[in-house]
C-alpha cells in the first residue's frame, strides 16, 4: 500500500512523468546538453512552470467550486455564530477556502468588519486567507512531502488563530478607520446556483487568478532555476545556512518587500532547500511574502490606523520567526 501511495504521489503530484518527458525532449535538441548547468536550468524552468500551472488550474477550480457555497454574506453569518477562540478558528478555516492573495483579502476584511464581526476574528481571516489555503497542501506535497505540507498548514492556522486572538484582546476597535465600520453591508441572501453556474464561477476564478499570478510564477521559477543551477551552495549556506542563527530573521525581512503568493514562492523555496537552507528559514520566507507583502501593508494602512497596523505586523513577524527557529530545529523529523 505504501509503495502504491508513493507511486501515485510521484506521478500525480510531483509529476515524475513530466520531468522525464522534459528531459527526453531536451536531449533530442541537437547540440543541447541537459546535464549541463544551462540544461539543468532550462529543465527546472520548463518542468516547474508546467507542473505548477497544471496544479494551479486543477486546484483553483476545485477550491472555487467549493467556495461557491460560501459567498461573503453566508461566511459572515457563519462567523457571527461563534465567539472567543472558536470564532477565530472558524475565521482562519474560512480563510483556507478563499484562494486570494493578501491584497484581494482586504475587501472581504472590510466587509466583515463593517458587518460588525469581532476585530480579532476578521484578522484571523486576514492572516489565514493568503497564508494557508487548500491548494498549498497539494503544492507543498508536490515539491517536498506530505509531512512538510501538513505542518505548514497547521502552523499557518495556529498563527492566524493566535494572531487574531491577541488582536481581539488588545481592544483596538477604535483604531479601525470610520469608513470601514460604517461601510454598508448588502444582504442579498444566498443564491441557489445551478451546477452549471458553479462550474462557470470556478472557471472564472481560474482565469482570474491565473491571469493575476502567472508573472509571479514565471519570476519565481526563474529565480529558483538560477539558485538551483548557478549560485554555489557554499555561498548560500554561508549567508542563510541552517547553522546561521540569523537566517530566519534575514529571510523574513527579505520576504516582506516582495509581492507574490505561494505559487510564486514555492520554486524559490524548493531551490533553497536543495542548496542546504533550513526548512524553517524557507517557511519564514514564504510566510513573510504571502502574509506581509508590502503592497498589502500599504492597502491595510488605508483601513486601519498606525497602532493597529503595527500590532498586526509585530504579532505576525514574531510568529513567523518563532516558526522559523522551531522548524529549523526539528526539520530532521520532517525531511
Helix, strand and coil content of the chain, in percent to the nearest 5, comes to: 75, 0, 20
Question: pLDDT grade, residue 191 (50/70/90)?
Answer: low
pLDDT digits (tens, 9 = 90+) for 245-271: 788 888 888 777 666 666 677 788 878
Mean pLDDT taken over the chain: 77
Write down the pLDDT at residue 72: 60
- What mean pLDDT comes out for the span 233-248? 71
Q: Say which residue, 4 or 194, is predicted with more confidence.
A: 194
pLDDT digits (tens, 9 = 90+) for 113-157: 766 778 888 888 888 877 776 667 777 787 778 888 888 888 888
Q: Using an 8 Å Cβ cutoff, are 247 and 285 in contact?
A: no
CB proximity list for 187: less than 8 A, separation 6 or greater: 73
Q: Using an 8 Å Cβ cutoff, are 139 and 107 in contact?
A: no
- What mean pLDDT comes out for the span 220-248? 73
Give the span between the Cα atoms of 261 and 113, in whole angstroms: 24
Q: State the cell numbers at 75.
A: 461566511
Question: pLDDT grade, residue 235 (50/70/90)?
Answer: low
Write down the pLDDT at residue 74: 65
Question: pLDDT grade, residue 85 (50/70/90)?
Answer: confident
Q: Using an 8 Å Cβ cutoff, are 142 and 262 in contact?
A: no
SS3 for 59-125 is: HHHHHHHHHCCCCHHHHHHHHHCCCHHHHHHHHHHHHCCCCCCHHHHHHHHHHHHHCCCCHHHHHHH
Does the structure show a pLDDT above 60 at 216? yes
**Which is nearest to 313 in space by CA: 67, 126, 58?**
126
Q: Using an 8 Å Cβ cutoff, are 315 and 163 in contact?
A: yes
Write down the pLDDT at residue 186: 44
Q: Using an 8 Å Cβ cutoff, are 328 and 279 in contact?
A: yes
pLDDT digits (tens, 9 = 90+) for 6-47: 666 666 767 788 888 888 888 888 878 777 878 888 888 888
Q: Say which residue, 198 or 95, is predicted with more confidence.
A: 198
Read out DSSP for 204-235? HHHHHHHHHHHHHHHHHHHHHHHHHHTS-HHH
Write down the pLDDT at residue 145: 80
pTM value is 0.70
Write down the pLDDT at residue 224: 77
Write down the pLDDT at residue 80: 65
Write down the pLDDT at residue 189: 47
Backbone φ and ψ of 46, nearest 5°: -65, -50
Write down the pLDDT at residue 280: 86
- Coil, helix or strand for 133? coil
**Which is nearest to 39 in space by CA: 217, 225, 266?**
225
For the chain, which residues make up each domain, given as ranges? 2-21+33-177+198-333
Amino acid at each position: 500500500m505504501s509503495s502504491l501511495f508513493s507511486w501515485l504521489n510521484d506521478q500525480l503530484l510531483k509529476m515524475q512523468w513530466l520531468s522525464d518527458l522534459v528531459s527526453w525532449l531536451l536531449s533530442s535538441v541537437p547540440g543541447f546538453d541537459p546535464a549541463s548547468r544551462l540544461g539543468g536550468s532550462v529543465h527546472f524552468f520548463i518542468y516547474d512552470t508546467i507542473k505548477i500551472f497544471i496544479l494551479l488550474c486543477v486546484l483553483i477550480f476545485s477550491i472555487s467550486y467549493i467556495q461557491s457555497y460560501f459567498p461573503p454574506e453566508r461566511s459572515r453569518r457563519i462567523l457571527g455564530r461563534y465567539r472567543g477562540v472558536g470564532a477565530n478558528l472558524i475565521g482562519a478555516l474560512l480563510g483556507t477556502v478563499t484562494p486570494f492573495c493578501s491584497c484581494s483579502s482586504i475587501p472581504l476584511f472590510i466587509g466583515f468588519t463593517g458587518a460588525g464581526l469581532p476585530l480579532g476574528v476578521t484578522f484571523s481571516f486576514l492572516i489565514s486567507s493568503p497564508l494557508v489555503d487548500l491548494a498549498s497542501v497539494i503544492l507543498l506535497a508536490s515539491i517536498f512531502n506530505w509531512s512538510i505540507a501538513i505542518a505548514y498548514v497547521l502552523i499557518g492556522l495556529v498563527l492566524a488563530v493566535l494572531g487574531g486572538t491577541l488582536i481581539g484582546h488588545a481592544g483596538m476597535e477604535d483604531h479601525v478607520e470610520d469608513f470601514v465600520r460604517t461601510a454598508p453591508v448588502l444582504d442579498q441572501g444566498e443564491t441557489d446556483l445551478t451546477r452549471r453556474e458553479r462550474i462557470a464561477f470556478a472557471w472564472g476564478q481560474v482565469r482570474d487568478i491565473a491571469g493575476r499570478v502567472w508573472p509571479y510564477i514565471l519570476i519565481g521559477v526563474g529565480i529558483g532555476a538560477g539558485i538551483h543551477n548557478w549560485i554555489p551552495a557554499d555561498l548560500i549556506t554561508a549567508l542563510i545556512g541552517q547553522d546561521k542563527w540569523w537566517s530566519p530573521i534575514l529571510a523574513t525581512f527579505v520576504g516582506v518587500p516582495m509581492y507574490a503568493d505561494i505559487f510564486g514562492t514555492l520554486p524559490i523555496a524548493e531551490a533553497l532547500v536543495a542548496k542546504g537552507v533550513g526548512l524553517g528559514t524557507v517557511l519564514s520566507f514564504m510566510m513573510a511574502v504571502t502574509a506581509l507583502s508590502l503592497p498589502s501593508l500599504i492597502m491595510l494602512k488605508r483601513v486601519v490606523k498606525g497602532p493597529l497596523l503595527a500590532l498586526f505586523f509585530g504579532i505576525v513577524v514574531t510568529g513567523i520567526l518563532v516558526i522559523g527557529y522551531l522548524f529549523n530545529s526539528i526539520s530532521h523529523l520532517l525531511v
